[in-house]
Amino acid sequence: MDRTQVNRPLLTGISGIDLIYPIGKGQRQLIIGDKRTGKTQIALDTIVNQGKLEEKMICIYIAVGKTKKEIKQIYNEFLKRNCLSYTTMVVATNDDKPPVISLIPYVGLSIAEEYLKEGKDVLVVIDDLKKHADAYREISLISNKAPGREAYPADIFYLHSRLLEKGCQHKNGGSITILPIVETKGGDITDYISTNIISITDGQIVLSEKQFSKGNKPAIDYGISVSRLGGAVQTEKIKKLGASIRRQLLSYLETKEVYELANTDEMSQVLRDKMNKGRDIERNLNQPKFSPKTTEEMIDVFEKFS
């Protein structure tokens, strides 16, 4: 009863997300993909972008079972970009015991809830929930709980749902936006933990190793990514532009699969123009890390394609 509709945008500064698969304040948007495809980088870019906006969100980065080296690198990036004035890091390293690793996301969300009660907007990144599930599985097997699918206990869905359900737009004006990260193997987003979390969240940004190896960064797989709120959290202008860009991009990606090896000279002029336009859109969606764009910059770049 204390929750209201999610209708305010959370700007990540990444064109492929803000235009095509937008995130709202109070939304839970999953970031999923294989190892080393840039999942954490999307979350870090989003946190860095909050420092460039007039209304800074409070950010909480929860590291679940990461190495000390990785945590040190992330801390140094935050330090270099002056993010620590509005960012809290809640950390459990891979050296910590499984009970510590399994409880650390709840600690981070408890901090977020305190800020929510004060009417503040909070962004929470959980990196990552696969390691969290593995730590909980270890505890469950040692405590003789009956193992279920993939040896996970039967209450693994409840474990994650009670955590992610804390994300909301509160009627007091505050919000908790959660970006959980899940690592997959071989691009399989249909495994047990992934499907559980996809069913709890309000959409997913899927990162593809194929896109990453082609040099398309962020390596978003635009065909299977989705935001269940979409245009509800965008301004009218961005909504109209984003819908047009998304339609053209998906049409181009579909055509590209069929005509990838075809000779360009044998194509009709209409098809050639479509392929060239699609290639330009795809190229403009590429963005170096830690270089967020403002909404105005995105409109300037993509307006010519609509």
- Asked whether residue 303 is assigned to any structural domain, the reply reads no
- Asked whether residue 271 is assigned to any structural domain, the reply reads no
Does residue 228 have an active-site annotation? yes
**Rounded to whole angstroms, what are the CA distances from 135 to 30, 64, 110, 198, 264?**
20, 10, 20, 20, 52
User: What whole-number distance in Å separates Cα of residue 284 and Cα of residue 33?
Assistant: 22
Q: What are the DSSP E strand ranges found in the chain?
A: 3-4, 9-10, 23-24, 30-34, 58-66, 87-93, 121-127, 168-170, 175-184, 203-207, 226-227
> pLDDT by residue (tens digit) across 152-198?
999 999 999 999 999 999 999 999 999 999 999 999 999 999 999 99
Residue 166: what pLDDT? 95
Mean pLDDT of 285-305: 94
Mean pLDDT of 148-152: 93
- Asked whether residue 276 is assigned to any structural domain, the reply reads no
User: Which residues form the domain of 8?
Assistant: 3-237
Mean pLDDT of 41-66: 95
- pLDDT tops 80 at residue 252: yes
User: What whole-number distance in Å separates Cα of residue 16 and Cα of residue 245?
Assistant: 10
- What is the pTM for the complete model shown? 0.94
- Asked whether residue 174 is assigned to any structural domain, the reply reads yes
In a 13 Å sphere around the CA of 13, the CA atoms on its Cβ side amount to 20
Residue 43: what pLDDT? 96
- pLDDT tops 90 at residue 8: yes
pLDDT bin (cut points 50, 70, 90) of residue 90 is very high
pLDDT bin (cut points 50, 70, 90) of residue 62 is very high
Q: What CATH number has the domain bearing residue 177?
A: 3.40.50.300
Percent of the chain with pLDDT over 90: 88
CA-based angle 273:275:276, to the nearest 5?
65
Which has more pLDDT, 114 or 54?
A: 114
Q: Which two tokens stand for residue 104?
A: 């650390």
- Chain centroid to CA 20: how far? 13
Amino acid at 2: D
> What is the tally of structural domains in the chain?
1
Mean pLDDT of 53-70: 94
In a 13 Å sphere around the CA of 78, the CA atoms on its Cβ side amount to 22
Helices 129-142 and 156-164 pack at an angle, to 10 degrees, of: 140
- Asked whether residue 243 is assigned to any structural domain, the reply reads no
φ and ψ at residue 187, rounded to 5 degrees: 70, 15
- Asked whether residue 46 is assigned to any structural domain, the reply reads yes
- Asked whether residue 255 is assigned to any structural domain, the reply reads no
Q: Are 136 and 73 in contact (CB under 8 A)?
A: no
pLDDT bin (cut points 50, 70, 90) of residue 257 is confident
- pLDDT tops 90 at residue 1: no
**Rounded to whole angstroms, what are the CA distances from 48 to 4, 31, 60, 83, 126?**
27, 17, 12, 6, 16
- Asked whether residue 84 is assigned to any structural domain, the reply reads yes
Catalytic-labelled residue, pool 8, 228, 246, 272: 228
